Amino acid sequence: DAGVTQSPTHLIKTRGQQVTLRCSPISGHKSVSWYQQVLGQGPQFIFQYYEKEERGRGNFPDRFSARQFPNYSSELNVNALLLGDSALYLCASSFGGSLTYSNQPQHFGDGTRLSIL
């Protein structure tokens, strides 16, 4: 079975531009989470989506938004890009997003490496 797939793998943008990153979860997984990993640090939580609804948001500005589609894939959008948005963006999927399934492991994609010039 395919794992979590993310596209594109690399992206170069300039300050002020907008970017859309895409994620397809493991088949059967209904929850998608997004993380940002800057160089030298651990991943930081941005969003969780479950059943097409936002279920959690980390400490990120409103320039960051996301959505989940009926097939459970997801997009992360970042507007008005800043130099500090340069990072590896990771998508993770898990079976459920409710408290009942909160103990399920998360599986990560290979990430999108975003560079802002």
Partner 1 sequence: GIQVEQSPPDLILQEGANSTLRCNFSDSVNNLQWFHQNPWGQLINLFYIPSGTKQNGRLSATTVATERYSLLYISSSQTTDSGVYFCASKRLGSARQLTFGSGTQLTVLP
- Residues forming contacts to partner 1 in the complex (CB under 8 A) are 33, 35, 41-45, 48, 55-56, 58, 88, 90, 92, 97-99, 101-108, 110-111, 113
Shortest separation between residue 85's beta carbon and partner 1, angstroms: 17
Shortest separation between residue 62's beta carbon and partner 1, angstroms: 18
CA trace torsion 63, 42, 90, 36 (10° rounding): 10
Shortest separation between residue 81's beta carbon and partner 1, angstroms: 20
Q: How far apart are CA 44 and CA 60, in angstroms?
A: 10
- Percent of residues in the chain assigned helix, strand, coil, to nearest 5: 5, 50, 45
- Nearer residue to partner 1 within complex by CB, 8 or 56: 56
